[in-house]
Amino acid sequence: MTNATPAERIVIENCSIATVDAAGTEYATGHVVVAGNRIESVGAGPAPEGPAGVVRRIDATGHLLTPGLVNTHHHFYQFLTRGLATDHNLFNWLVALYPTWARIDEQMTYAGAQGSLGMMARGGVTTAADHHYVFPRGSGDLSGSIIRAASEMGVRFTLARGSMDRGESDGGLPPDFAVETLEGALAATEETVDRHHDASFDAMTQVAVAPCSPFSVSTELMRQGAELARRKGVRLHTHGSETVEEEQFCKELFGMGPTDYFESTGWLGSDVWMAHCVHMNDSDIAAFARTGTGVAHCPSSNARIAAGIARVPDMLAAGVPVGLGVDGTASNESGELHTELRNALLINRLGAHREAALTARQALRLGTYGGAQVLGRADQIGSIEPGKLADLVLWKLDTIAHASIADPVNALVFGAAAPVTLSLVNGRPVVESGRLTLVDEDAIARSTRAEAQRLARIAGLTA
């Protein structure tokens, strides 16, 4: 019998720690030991002296250590169309931008994924989900290009392989050449699952089945998509109850509201999460709670397109799993999730619950453990506990931006965007001192600008 090679260890100590475990354990001054890609120990005070295999010991004085942020909803390709249609509601925004999005190709999609992932990683995201549903004919391997960008960035990733089969000629919003057939969408989605989904504990890439939305997808694609996902053992994702117009559309076309429609097509369950869920009544929330259906709350995007204020406090009180999402950067130009901690808290305080809507610690839980729940990975990520994967973020809170705020969690959530000194994914540094470590972010900036300009030319937005 041969002895296993000892895991290399990273010790982080002398920092505040918010574990976001079930008890909400926090340490004013504590330590975490990472062994390989797992959290080995967490506790108060300095780390024990002399653990074998320590390759790095970090004095994190002046910092807060949290679980890595989990982004549960995004559209990476939209990084190339930021700053357009800035005064539109959702339907008008989609009508304005679909003709441009319908021109994307593999090179553009890769650049958009790099830009989106880079902005998130620099802001503390360690796990991201991308809902990609635009597949113009002849555009290349778009799914593969997105997965490649995530792998190169070092971020844990869920590709929500989207689809649309309702084009303009069938009463949908996207151009006909940007949608797939029912059979083509199902076959391509199954191929993506077979090729890329990893069901292991420490998987870096997973795939979900993700038809776009009720107004761009046929009922048959919804039904057969749900059957495909459950046959393959993967999760299901779509947009739901985002706007008043969507609710009216569902009632006119299907004779029922969005939640009842989703239930009729097999789209409620503990393996499902929906983006937005802004317009939910009491019975809708009860149905989500009863079935364990999750929600990706996107406060900045909801405000950008004037969709409304989601009833997050009521969802949480009912037991609905809720995480945070950036949403596409054409409706949230900052493209960062750590700003959503603050916006989730502030925007929900404008609702019926006012100052009692959310606390800073609830907002942090939405962005970490809540997101892990929504993606079906709460046993692996989302809190700092021994045995979980080493996805951790060290936030610098001793500068002028935060130093006078005594409570570090309040400083992170209520204060300015905090710099990231270190971000570990699977125990591997992906950000150091605010810079990406595995890719050239300056080259990404140049690439995204060039591809955005190329897309604008092709779409006829510039001469």
> Could you report the per-residue pLDDT of 176-210, keeping only the tens digit for each?
888 999 999 999 999 999 999 999 999 999 999 99
Whether the pLDDT of residue 84 is over 80: the answer is yes
> For 429-439, what is each residue's pLDDT tens digit?
999 999 999 99
- CA dist 421 and 210 (Å) reads 35
Residue ranges per structural domain of the chain: 9-67+382-436, 69-374
In the prediction, which pLDDT does 1 show?
A: 36
Three-point CA angle 213, 133, 218, nearest 5°: 40
Note the CATH architecture for domain 69-374.
Answer: Alpha-Beta Barrel (3.20)
Query: Which residues does 410 contact at the CB level (< 8 Å), separation at least 6?
Result: 360
- Residue 454's pLDDT band, with cuts at 50, 70 and 90, is very high
Note the CATH architecture for domain 9-67+382-436.
Answer: Roll (2.30)
Contact between 36 and 7 (Cβ < 8 Å): yes
In the predicted model, what is the mean pLDDT of residues 95-116? 95
Residue that has been written with the tokens 């995480």 in this structure: 323
Read off the tokens for 116.
């989106």
- Residue 2's pLDDT band, with cuts at 50, 70 and 90, is very low
Calculate what percentage of the chain has a pLDDT beyond 70: 98
> For 127-172, what is each residue's pLDDT tens digit?
999 999 999 989 999 999 999 999 999 999 999 999 999 988 888 7
According to DSSP, the β-strands at 392-396 and 420-425 are antiparallel
Query: Which phi and psi angles does 366 have, rounded to 5°?
Result: -55, -40
| Nearest Cα to Cα of residue 373 among 270, 258, 260, 281 | 270
Alpha helices in 267-359 (DSSP H): 282-291, 299-304, 312-318, 338-348
Tally helices (H) and strands (E) across the chain.
15, 17
